[in-house]
Structure 1
Amino acid sequence: MRWFRRIGMLLGAAIGFVLTLWAAAALYFDFTFPRLRVVVALLYLAVIVRAIVYLRRSKLVLAVPVVGFLVVLGWWLTLKATNDGDWQPDNAQTASIDFNGDAVTVHNFRLCTYKTEADYTCEWQTRSYDLSKLHAVDIFITWWGSPWIAHPIVSFDFGDQGHIAMSIETRDLVGQSYSAVRGFFRQYALIYVVTDERDVILLRTNYRKGEEVHIFRTNINPETARKLFGDYAARVNQLHNRPEWYNAVTNNCTTNIAVSAAQANSRRTRLDWRVLLNGKSDEMMYEHGGIATGGLPIARLREQAHINSVAQKVGNDPEFSRLIRVGRVGFPEAGAAAGAN
C-alpha cells in the first residue's frame, strides 16, 4: 500500500505540474494586457508554489494546482475570437458560400499570385459552380521537416468548372507567424481559405522552401462528395459569422477534416492517433480504403503522388490542376498506376 501511495503521489504531482505549466503559459501568452503577461504568469507560479508549501502536509496539497488550473481555464474560455484585426493580406477576407438548389456562389474566393512567398497580390472574387458537377474529392498533403506533422488541403473537383481548394489554417495578423507552442493557446483565429489550386498549392511547391506536396484521389463517391462540400460550406459560413480560435490539438486542419468526413459518411468521427500526428494521415486513409491505391504499397503510392517537380515546371499555367494530376494513381489520365514525379 505504501508503494501505491507513493506512485499515486508521484502521478498527482506530475499532473499538477502539467496543469500549472499550462495555466502559467496561458497567462503568459493570452493575458489581456500584454505588458503584464510576464508579471501575471510569475505571480501565478509564486502563489501556487506558496500554497503547496503551506499545505505540504495536508491532503489538500494536490488540489492546489487543480483549483488554480480551473480558475485560469474559466477565465481563458471567456476569451472570444474576432473577425476584426489588422490581418495579413492573404487573410484579409473570410469566405462565405450560398446555395440556391444546385447553384453554388462562393464569395471572397481567394486568388493570390506570387513573386516570392512574401511578395504577392490577392484578388477576392465571386465565383459560381454547379453542385451537380461535383464528382470527386482530392486531398493534398504537405510535409516539411518532421514526418509526423503535415498539412492537408481538400480539393473539390467540379469537372470543367475547375476545383475549389479549401485549406484550414491560422488567420494571421500583420507581423504574426505560426508557432507550434502558441498554437496551443488563443493566439490565432481559425480560417477556411477557399481558393484556387494555383494559389494554395503553387505557394507550397514553388515559393516556400522545404515543403513537399503530394496529391491523392479519395474514394469518395459523388453523393458523399456533395455532402462533404455542404459540410465544409456550413463551417465556412459559421466562421464567417462567428469566428473561432485555432487550437493545435482540438480545432485544427486535421480534426476539422475528420469531423466533416464523418458527418458526410453519417458515422462517428474515427478515433485514430494519426488524426493528431497527421504526417501519417495518408497511411491512415490507405489502411481504411479512403484513397485510390492502384494496388501500390504505401511507400510507392506516396512517391508517385509527389508533385513538386511538375508544379515547378508548370508554374502558373491555367492548366495547372490538370497537369499536376497526369500519370497519378486514381485520376482519369493515370491509367493503371504510376507516372513520373
Structure 2
Amino acid sequence: MRTGWRGAHIKAALLKAPATLALALATAWGTLALWFQLPSMPAVAAGLAWCAIGLAGTAALWLRRDRRFRAGAAVACAVAAVAMAAWWQSIRPSHDKAWADDVARLLDADVDGDRVTLRNVRNFDWQTEMRYTPRWETRQYDLAQLASADLILSYWMGPHIAHTLVSFGFADGRKLVFSLEIRKERHESFSALGGFFRRFEEVLVAADERDIVRTRSNARGEQVYLYRLRATPEQLRAVFLGYLAQAAQLRHTPAFYNTLTSNCTTVVFDLARQIAPGLPLDYRLLASGHFAEYAYDQGALTPGYPYRVLQQRGFINPRAQRADAAAFSRAIRAGIPGVPPDELR
C-alpha cells in the first residue's frame, strides 16, 4: 500500500510539472513585459499583481482539499491571461516619437532602372559617441556600377554578439552601408532583453562608412571586422534592392525590433535566402558574433584562405584609428583578402 501511495503521488507530480513550468514561464514573461512597457511605478504594481496571480495558480495546482481556492485561482488566472493577451496585442509600433538624432529619419528610395535616388542617407561626423555633427544627404547611385559587398561585424558585448552590417561598393569608389537597428527614442538606451518585449521599433539605416563604421571603430571603441563577400553582379543587385524593399516596407508599416527574430543579422540572412533558398538555419544566426564563420562555411567569403586568416586580416581598428576620414574606406581595406589593389588607390 505504501509503495502504491508513493507511486500515485509521483505520477500526480509528474502530471502537474508541465503546468507548473508553464505557469512559471508565463509569470516571468508577463512580469518582464510589464516592466519594459509601463512606467516604473505602475510596472512594479502590475508586476506584483501578475506574480501574485501566478503564485496562486501554482499553489492551486498542488492543493488537494480547498476546492473554492482552486476554482477562484483558476478563474483569476484565466481572466488575467485574457487581459494580458488583449493588452499585449494593443501595443503597436509607431513612427511618431521623439527619436534620437541618428535614427530620426527614414530611408526613402526611388528606383528607375539602374538609377537609384536615396533620400536620408546618414553621414554624421562623429567626434565622440555623444558629440557629433548631424548630416542627412540625398544621393544617387548607378546599379550597373555595383562592384562589391563586404560583411562587417562590430563587437560590443563580448565575442558571441556582434552588430551586422553590409557595405556595398561602387566602381567610382563610393561605399554605402545598410544596417538594421533599433530606433531609440531620445531618452532610451539599448537593452537586448527589452528587444524581446516590443521595447523598440526598428529602422533600416543607409549610411556612409565614415559615419556608421567609423563611429564604431573610433568613437565607440568597438572591435570591428570586415570580410569581402563572394557575389555575382546579379546577386549584388538583388540584395541591394532587397534592402530598399525592406526600407520601403518599414517606411509604410512600422515594426518592432526583436532580439531573436528581427534583428541586424536575420535581415542579412533573409535577403541572402532570396538568392540562395537552401541556406540552412544555424545557431550562429543567433550568436551573431559567429556569423562571419557561418558565411565562410557557406562559401560566401573570399576563397583560398582559412577562416582564422580572414578574421585576423579583417580586424580594421588599428587602420581605422590611423586613417584620415577622406581615405577611411581605402585604409580599412588594406590587406583584406579579396580586395583588388585598384580599390585601394
TM-score by length of 1: 0.89
1:12 to partner: Cα distance: 3.9
1:140-179 matches, within 5 Å, as: 140-160=152-172, 162-179=174-191
| Residues 1:305 and 2:311 are matched in the alignment | no
The 1:299/1:65 distance shift into structure 2, 3 A limit, reads farther
Query: Percent of aligned positions with the same letter in both sequences?
Result: 32
Q: Secondary structure at the match of 2:172?
A: helix
Q: Which residue of 1 aligns with 2:337?
A: 329
Residue number among 240, 245, 250 corresponding to 1:239 in the alignment: 250
Give how far 1:90 is off.
Answer: 0.9
TM-score normalised by the chain length of structure 2: 0.88
The structural deviation recorded for 1:91 is 1.3
- Report what 1:281 is aligned to: 291
User: What CA distance in whole angstroms lies between the structure 2 residues aligned with 1:139 and 1:57?
Assistant: 57
Which residue does 1:52 correspond to in 2? 58
Question: Which amino acid letter does the alignment assign opposite residue 16 of structure 1?
Answer: L
Cα 1:67–1:52 change in 2 (3 A) is farther
Cα distance in 1, alignment partners of residues 116 and 54 from structure 2: 55
Classify 1:10/1:243 alpha carbon distance in 2 versus 1 (closer, same or farther; 3 Å).
Answer: same
Query: Does 2:89 match 1:105?
Result: no
Per-residue CA deviation, residues 204-239 of structure 1 (Å, 9 max, x unaligned), is: 111113x11111011121101101111110011111
- 1:70–1:223 CA distance, 2 compared to 1 (3 A): farther
Unpaired runs of 5+ residues, structure 1, are: 336-341
Write the distance in 2 (CA, Å) between the matches of 1:34 and 1:302: 43
Q: Cα–Cα, structure 1 residues 331 and 67, in superposed 2: closer, same or farther, change >3 Å? A: farther
Q: Name the structure 1 match of 2:20.
A: 13
Measured after TM superposition, the shift of residue 10 of structure 1 is 3.2
3-state SS in 2 of match to 1:152? strand
Distance change (3 Å), C-alpha of 1:74 and 1:66: same
Residue 262 of structure 2: SS of its match in structure 1? coil
Q: Does the residue aligned with 2:191 lie in a helix, a strand or coil?
A: coil
Per the alignment, do residues 280 and 70 of structure 1 end up closer, same or farther by CA in structure 2, a change over 3 Å counting? farther
Distance 2:19 2:292 in 1: 37
Distance 1:65 1:232, change over 3 A: farther
In structure 1, distance between residues paired with 2:114 and 2:37? 43
Map 1:1-341 to 2 at 5 A: 6-7=13-14, 9-31=16-38, 35-57=41-63, 71-160=83-172, 162-209=174-221, 211-265=222-276, 267=277, 270-293=280-303, 295-317=304-326, 319-333=327-341
TM-aligned CA deviation for residue 7 of structure 1: 4.6
Aligned equivalents of 1:146 and 1:94: distance in 2?
A: 30
Question: Secondary structure at the residue paired with 2:239?
Answer: helix
SS in 2 for 1:154: strand
Number of residue-to-residue matches in the alignment: 330
Whole-angstrom CA distance in 1 between matches of 2:169 and 2:130: 29
